[in-house]
Structure 1
Amino acid sequence: MNQIVIREAYQTEYPQIGEMMVQVYSSLEGFPQQEEMPEYYEMLLNVGDLTEKEHVSIHVALDDDQIAGAVVFIKEMSDYGSEGAATSVLNACGFRLLAVDHQHQGKGVGKKLVAYCLEKGRVLKRERLIIHSTKPMKLAWAMYEKMGFVRNEALDVSKEEIQVYGFNYYY
């Protein structure tokens, strides 16, 4: 693996990022499939639309100029775009939809994307960074906890398709 470079995604990369996210999420064992959550998968496919909100940006991890992974970073939680209490938390940032392309998994790309988001939050002088995860995302969940994220049940969201669990990282 070459040096991973992380930068803000170009608009022209949004469709490729969306397709990668659909592939990654639909392959998670136990995660609802496209027919079970069509609106969610439509949102993934059109992930670039999320950047229409003022405080939302997409960032890519590049390995040899290939998109190895991506994440959606949210500077202000009011633009987080989820159900539940997370959108009302002040002085916090967050990230959503972290995905690592299948051929780049297990190489530390996800960890580098998380560290990148944590640094962005630190620069913004936020008190905490908020994320959500699910049980089928067990590898990511373990990584988050090793990196210092703490479960916060007050941020949990229960959807009929799947339970979504909230986490905080306190600066």
Structure 2
Amino acid sequence: MQLRLATPDDHEVVGRATVAAYAPFLGGDRPDTGYVEHLRDAARRAAEAELWVACSEAGEVLGSVTICPEGSPWRELARPGEGEFRMLAVDPTAQGQGVGRALVEHALTHFRSGGATGVVLCSMAEMTAAHALYGRLGFVREPALDWSPAPGVELLSFRLTFAPQES
């Protein structure tokens, strides 16, 4: 598996894969908030943050994550000095193969090497597989940061604090 910044040629497939990964959590009686179009808009994420993709050896995009540097409009929870990532998405055909873990570990390495004190994120309450992954990687729930962007949509927050690096 290769991790790299997305290129404009990736945007359409990343948008489709992101919508497909989130689809099981968007149906039912959730209000139409325009979130599907937000998920599909990979080009905007690439322009306003850092859109990373995981690719197969053959170059097929398997998943993506949006890394939100300080100053990015995609940040929702992070304080100065903290990292934040959003829209971790693995194409349903590639789920269960370590793609999500590789993308999260990449984001953690990115922020740690940049001097961040830790990473925060939020996730839909129903995304229990992602929550389990975050727990395995050392994240803990941060209920004080939970929030609701729209009626019927509850986001749970998680935090990972990095151990101080020895000099």
Calculate the TM-score normalised by the size of structure 1.
Answer: 0.86
Aligned to 1:46: 41
For residue 16 of structure 2, the aligned residue among 12, 16, 19 is: 19
* Shift of residue 35, structure 1, vs aligned partner: 7.5
Give the letter aligned to residue 14 of structure 1: H
Aligned to 1:37: 32
* Shift of residue 32, structure 1, vs aligned partner: 4.0
* RMSD of aligned residue pairs (Cα, Å): 1.9
For residue 165 of structure 1, the aligned residue among 147, 151, 156 is: 156
Q: In the alignment, is the contact (CA less than 8 A) between 2:138 and 2:160 conserved in 1?
A: yes
Q: In the alignment, is the contact (CA less than 8 A) between 2:15 and 2:39 conserved in 1?
A: yes
Count matched residues. Answer: 160
Give the letter aligned to residue 36 of structure 1: P
For residue 150 of structure 1, the aligned residue among 140, 143, 147 is: 140
**Distance change >3 Å, CA 100–CA 33, structure 1 → 2:** farther
Aligned-pair identity in percent equals 27
For residue 57 of structure 1, the aligned residue among 47, 50, 55 is: 50
For residue 62 of structure 2, the aligned residue among 45, 59, 68 is: 68
Aligned to 1:131: 121
Q: In the alignment, is the contact (CA less than 8 A) between 2:82 and 2:120 conserved in 1?
A: yes
Q: In the alignment, is the contact (CA less than 8 A) between 1:34 and 1:41 conserved in 2?
A: no
Q: Residue by residue, what CA displacement relative to the aligned partner does 1:25-80 show, whole Å, maximum 9, x if unpaired?
A: 0124xx44697334111111112212332xx1100000121111100001216533
Give the letter aligned to residue 99 of structure 1: A
Calculate the TM-score normalised by the size of structure 2.
Answer: 0.88
Three-state SS of the structure 1 residue aligned to 2:21 is: helix
Aligned equivalents of 1:146 and 1:46: distance in 2? 30
* Shift of residue 107, structure 1, vs aligned partner: 0.7
Task: Compare the two structures and name the one with the higher helix fraction.
Answer: 1
56-65 vs 151-160, greater mean Cα deviation: 151-160
Gaps of 5+ in 2: 163-167
Q: In the alignment, is the contact (CA less than 8 A) between 2:6 and 2:46 conserved in 1?
A: no
